[in-house]
Amino acid sequence: MKAYLDIIKNVLDTGIEKKDRTGTGTIAIAGTIFEHDMEQGFPLLTTKSVPLRLVASELEFFIKGITDKQWLIKRNNHIWDEWCSPEKVKYAHDPKTKKMMKDENELGPIYGWQWRHFGAGYVSHDKPPKGDGFDQLRYIVDALKNNPDDRRMILSAWNPPDLHRMALPPCHWGLQVTVLGNRLNLMWNQRSVDVALGLPFNIASYALLLHLLAKEAGLKEGKLVGFLGDTHIYSNHKEGLKEQLSREPYKLPKIKTNNFRSIFDWEYTDTEVIGYEHHPMIKFDIAV
């Protein structure tokens, strides 16, 4: 996928060294754009493997507003294992704290909770919210069906009063949906972009959300656009990304969602990838 490879090349060629929260070290650029037309195929990287199962199960986790990482672990998805709410364990790098963070299931009011309960009072992953929140995802679905020309179909995960309670403040913090010529387009905003590990998942996740919203509203799939802020490569990811640049991309796959009723009833196992040809996996260490 050329748009992704161009971002890698841009950061490697022009990135400025910058310290970061994890202590790993990065090179970074200040802003770029990812753009893809869904008619060209589903944007799952082919220069390495990206498991749709992990992308899709995390998206279902968000859509359902779940904040207990055991839900993911039970589905053999471990991408949130290392984090927990700082109210439970204060963030630090030492081995003892890292183990305590891994053992704690509470993630706090992260992405999906903000999508479904914005403005309500968060209690815990196993208790209902205090007060009435705003269901931003349902608002978008209703607008797509009843007023598709609306320019206010916006969803935000960035809720400043809740940031200190979240396992991680949202990296991809907002999205907008717009309908043009019977095609549903999705644009997302991201403050912090881990090019090697995070961005391929973000691209696939928002492409899958676009796909589901289009099915929900009976629309064709249009453009996926990412407005990317602090776009960075960790120092220990450079060689793996250079390897990707040396690989010739394959044709993009397609996805198929079976027995679709509603985005709110969708399960990650309902969606399958078709014709996914990719180069071998590249191991990247996660920066915690």
**Cα–Cα distance measured from residue 261 to residue 265, given in angstroms and rounded to the nearest whole number:** 7
**Which residue among 12, 79, 171, 286 is the active-site one?**
171
**Cα–Cα distance measured from residue 221 to residue 215, given in angstroms and rounded to the nearest whole number:** 9
The three-class DSSP label of residue 190 is strand
- pLDDT computed for residue 133 by the predictor: 96
- pLDDT computed for residue 21 by the predictor: 78
Angle, helices 198-217 vs 136-146, to 10°: value is 40
The three-class DSSP label of residue 234 is strand
- pLDDT computed for residue 24 by the predictor: 82
End-to-end CA distance of the chain: 27
| CATH code given to domain 2-189+215-274 | 3.30.572.10
**Cα–Cα distance measured from residue 245 to residue 164, given in angstroms and rounded to the nearest whole number:** 38
- pLDDT computed for residue 287 by the predictor: 67
- Is 171 a residue of the active site? yes
Could you tell me the CA-to-CA distances from 118 to 110, 113, 114, 155, 160 in Å, in that order?
10, 7, 5, 10, 11
Residue 270 CB-density burial (10 A; 0-12 exposed, 13-18 middle, 19+ buried): middle
- pLDDT computed for residue 19 by the predictor: 85
Residue 229 CB-density burial (10 A; 0-12 exposed, 13-18 middle, 19+ buried): middle
Could you tell me the CA-to-CA distances from 136 to 155, 247, 256, 280 in Å, in that order?
6, 40, 26, 38
- pLDDT computed for residue 258 by the predictor: 95
Give the β-pairing of 220-234 and 271-274. Answer: unpaired
- pLDDT tens for the chain, 288 residues long, are 899 999 999 999 999 998 887 778 899 999 999 999 999 999 999 999 999 999 999 999 999 999 999 999 999 999 999 999 999 999 888 999 999 999 999 999 999 999 999 999 999 999 999 999 999 999 999 999 999 999 999 999 999 999 999 999 999 999 999 999 999 999 999 999 999 999 999 999 999 999 999 999 999 999 999 999 999 999 999 999 999 999 999 999 999 999 999 999 999 999 999 999 999 989 887 765
258 phi, psi to nearest 5 deg? -95, 145
- pLDDT computed for residue 285 by the predictor: 76
- pLDDT computed for residue 262 by the predictor: 97
- 250 and 277 Cβ atoms separated by less than 8 Å: yes
- pLDDT computed for residue 256 by the predictor: 97
